[in-house]
Amino acid sequence: MTESAFIHRFEPATRAGSPPLLLLHGTGGDENDLLGLGKMISPGSALLSPRGRVLEHGMPRFFRRLAEGVFDEKDVRRRAHELGDFVSEARQRYGIAAPVAVGFSNGANIAAALLLLEPDVLAGAILLRAMVPLSDPPTADLAGKPILLLSGQGDPIVPAGNSARLATLLSQAGASVTHRVLPAGHQLSQADVTLARDWIGNLEAKAA
């Protein structure tokens, strides 16, 4: 692996036909954080789970921010391309197809940036409590790419208008976006798990 490599965990698939998942943790998480979630929403999928390379007060993240909800957009772009390189290398190393990203909070934001900056890297995405990652995003071609965006009605970090704007941005790029606003805050709920599992199941059924 090259210098773009991330500390990561990889668990091979145990069931044919299940899409590989790219698990992207929130602030302060690591490569172990979302393995359990991945297994719950898509049992049998290959799991690729990197640790963010940016530290904020000792807590791993996938890109720098200037304040709560204010992103260092130059760093967002740089880190998204680094992550794209890592996914490409990991696909060759582990022999997996383009993954579906499952990102929470900061991880969901870098997944959204990756969709906009390198549309071919991901087969789709589950974005949990995501925000618009770039104020001036490039024109991306996400034709038909499936995206599930799950927002929290009482989320103190992500304003409702921001997540709605992200859904519109991705839809305008051609993605097939399902946006659900749940009676939850920023933390994940059982409803997130259920909706994500059903959505992945539908993807598998269509692929079959």
Q: pLDDT value at position 67?
A: 87
Q: pLDDT value at position 104?
A: 98
Q: Exposed, middle or buried, 68 (CB in 10 Å: 0-12/13-18/19+)?
A: exposed
Is residue 186 annotated as part of the catalytic site, yes or no? yes
Q: Model confidence over 80-121: pLDDT tens digits?
A: 999 999 999 999 999 999 999 999 999 999 999 999 999 999
Is residue 179 annotated as part of the catalytic site, yes or no? no
**pLDDT band at 208, cuts 50/70/90?**
confident
- Active-site hit among 105, 151, 163, 192: 105
- Active-site hit among 25, 155, 163, 192: 155
Q: Model confidence over 129-180: pLDDT tens digits?
A: 999 999 999 999 999 999 999 999 999 999 999 999 999 999 999 999 999 9
Lowest pLDDT segment from 33-37, 64-68, 114-118: 64-68
Superfamily designation of domain 8-207: Alpha/Beta hydrolase fold, catalytic domain (3.40.50.1820)
Q: Quick check: pTM over 0.85? A: yes
- Active-site hit among 8, 88, 186, 189: 186
Q: pLDDT value at position 49?
A: 98
**pLDDT band at 4, cuts 50/70/90?**
low
Domain boundaries, the chain: 8-207
Identify each DSSP E strand in the chain by its residue range.
8-11, 21-24, 47-50, 54-56, 59-61, 65-67, 70-71, 100-104, 124-128, 146-152, 176-182
Is residue 155 annotated as part of the catalytic site, yes or no? yes
